Amino acid sequence: MAAERKSVAAALRDTPTPGQSRYGWLAGALRARILQGEWVPGEAIPPEAVLARSYGVALGTIRQALALLVADGLLERRHGKGTFVKAGLGGASMLRFFRFRQSGELQAAPHSRILSRKRRLADLDEADALGLPAGASVLVLERLRSIGAQPCLLETLVLPLPLFDALAESDTTAWDDLLYPMYQRVCGVVIHHAADHLSFGQFTGQQARRLDLEKGHPCVRVQRRAFDLADRCVELRSTLGDAFAFEYTAQVR
């Protein structure tokens, strides 16, 4: 995350700058206004000229500040149109770890089914990761992702509960395939970035059954922590898939 990140309160004080660059301070101030929801994702912030005038600063300075937030993934600039607050992560970015080759038919669309949903108390690791007090409750989901008729990924999600209450009751069969846009629409939660941790293991009998594999079959586990705009962890996700379908490319530098 950007180095100039401060608490919202600190960033909002209008005293100019301590030992910091002016554009760094401006970036913090603008970030705070975005996090406060002054402009919703997808909406344009005021044009450079207006911002420059209102902060009493030259155009180039405001542009440097905006560049920081663009690099941070918070803003997006469109030539001739304006500067927009970015919407969150969209795509089915879990499947990028696997190649599931469709034999026969054309590549069928991936889809998802919720296998189970329940509330329970967060254990210590979960509470720690989600920044919850001890004894907080969470929503736990099991989810099966398939391509065509072939089940391929088995997922467990842990969501902090005051925040995701709206998902605790609604009809799961009506849910979207992609959860992140739904988080945003239904709960106002924007997923901004995530960290995926990969490891190998073996399927238990129960897990294997879900995916038409055998107990002990090699398995890739992707453990994800997903964060909102304010950099709070708001989703824990564990995804299991056939290790022989695993395929991932990493760029070095």
Partner DNA sequence: CAGTGGTCTAGACCACCGC
Partner DNA sequence: CGGTGGTCTAGACCACTGG
**Which residues bind to DNA, rule: CB under 7 A?**
17, 21-24, 44-45, 47-50, 56-61, 63-64, 77-83
- CB nearer to DNA: give 81 or 101: 81
Residue 252 touches which of a copy of itself, DNA, none (Cβ within 5-8 Å per kind): a copy of itself
- CB nearer to a copy of itself: give 126 or 196: 196
Phi, psi for residue 161 in degrees, rounded to 5? -90, -35
Strands in 48-167 per DSSP E: 75-78, 82-85, 110-121, 137-147, 150-160
β 150-160/75-78 pair status = unpaired
Shortest reach from residue 249's CB to a copy of itself, in Å: 5
Q: What angle do CA 157, 172, 89 make, to 5 degrees?
A: 50
Residues that bind a copy of itself (CB under 8 A): 73, 89, 93, 192-201, 218, 220, 224, 243-244, 246-253
β-bridge partners, 142: 116, 156
- CB nearer to DNA: give 46 or 151: 46
Shortest reach from residue 199's CB to a copy of itself, in Å: 5
- CB nearer to DNA: give 69 or 222: 69
Shortest reach from residue 246's CB to a copy of itself, in Å: 5
Label residue 111 exposed, middle or buried (CB < 10 Å: 0-12, 13-18, 19+): exposed
Nearest-angstrom CA–CA distance, 201 and 219: 5
Residue 117 touches which of DNA, a copy of itself, none (Cβ within 5-8 Å per kind): none
For the chain, the C-alpha Rg in angstroms (whole number) is 21
